[in-house]
Amino acid sequence: MPHQYNAGDVVTVFQISPSKELVIEGKATIRKRVAEVDEHYRVEFANKPGVTCQRFVDSWGQDDPDKYVQDFNRRAAR
């Protein structure tokens, strides 16, 4: 799957919590694609300006992040 986002796009980043639930890590701006891995990007979180980190960006949850988290966690609990 090719990269869907470009530098400057704002996305929601998700992560798995220690209790194995999906949570929203925060909103981040795409800074750079990680060329060798699809859907991995260098991002900058709004609350940490100037600091970039690498994250997988799950495109499936971008339209409605809260519902995506709820649905994911409901399925995982089964």
The residue range of the domain holding 36 is 10-76
- Per-residue pLDDT tens digits for 8-62: 999 999 999 999 999 999 999 999 999 777 789 999 999 999 999 999 999 999 9
Split into its structural domains, the chain has a count of: 1
Q: Is residue 34 part of a domain?
A: yes
In 3D space, the residue among 11, 20, 16, 29 whose CA is nearest the CA of residue 65 turns out to be 11
- Per-residue pLDDT tens digits for 59-71: 999 999 999 999 9
Q: Is residue 68 part of a domain?
A: yes
In 3D space, the residue among 15, 32, 33 whose CA is nearest the CA of residue 24 turns out to be 15
**Can you give 6-59 as a three-state secondary structure string?**
CCCCEEEEEEECCCCCEEEEEEEEEEEECCCCCCEEEEEECCCCCCEEEEECCH
pTM of the model: 0.88
